[in-house]
C-alpha cells in the first residue's frame, strides 16, 4: 500500500475549510492517509508567507502528496480515484 499525505490549507473563520477538514478527517480514518491541516495565516505569521501568497484566495486547498489537487471544496470522486490509482 502506498502511503499518501494530504495537506489541507485553511484559515480561521472559513466555513468551507471547516467542512473540508471534517470530511478529510473521516476519509483519513477510512483510507489511512496522513492528514495535516495548515492555516496559511498562521504559517505566514511564522515566516512562511509563500503558502498564503500562492493559495490564500482559493481556500480551502487540498494538496495530495505535495501537489495541488483541488480547491474551494474536496473533489472526493477524483481524490478517491487518485488515491486508488497510486496504489
pLDDT of residue 2: 56
pLDDT above 90: residue 87: no
Q: Which helix (H) or strand (E) covers residue 64, if one does?
A: strand 61-64
- CB contact at 8 A, 6 and 35: yes
What CATH class is the domain 26-85?
A: alpha beta
pLDDT of residue 80: 92
What residue spans define the domains of the chain? 26-85
- Of 63, 60, 71, 74, which Cα lies nearest the Cα of 23? 74
Per-residue pLDDT tens digits for 3-53: 899 999 999 999 999 999 999 999 999 988 999 999 999 999 999 999 999
Per-residue pLDDT tens digits for 56-73: 899 999 999 999 999 999
Amino acid at each position: 500500500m502506498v502511503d499518501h499525505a494530504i495537506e489541507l490549507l485553511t484559515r480561521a473563520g472559513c466555513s468551507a475549510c471547516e467542512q473540508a477538514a471534517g470530511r478529510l478527517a473521516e476519509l483519513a480514518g477510512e483510507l489511512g492517509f496522513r492528514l495535516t491541516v495548515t492555516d496559511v495565516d498562521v504559517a505566514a505569521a511564522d515566516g512562511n508567507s509563500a503558502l498564503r501568497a500562492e493559495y490564500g484566495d482559493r481556500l480551502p486547498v487540498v494538496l495530495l502528496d505535495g501537489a495541488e489537487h483541488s480547491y474551494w471544496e474536496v473533489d472526493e470522486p477524483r481524490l478517491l480515484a487518485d488515491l486508488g490509482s497510486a496504489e
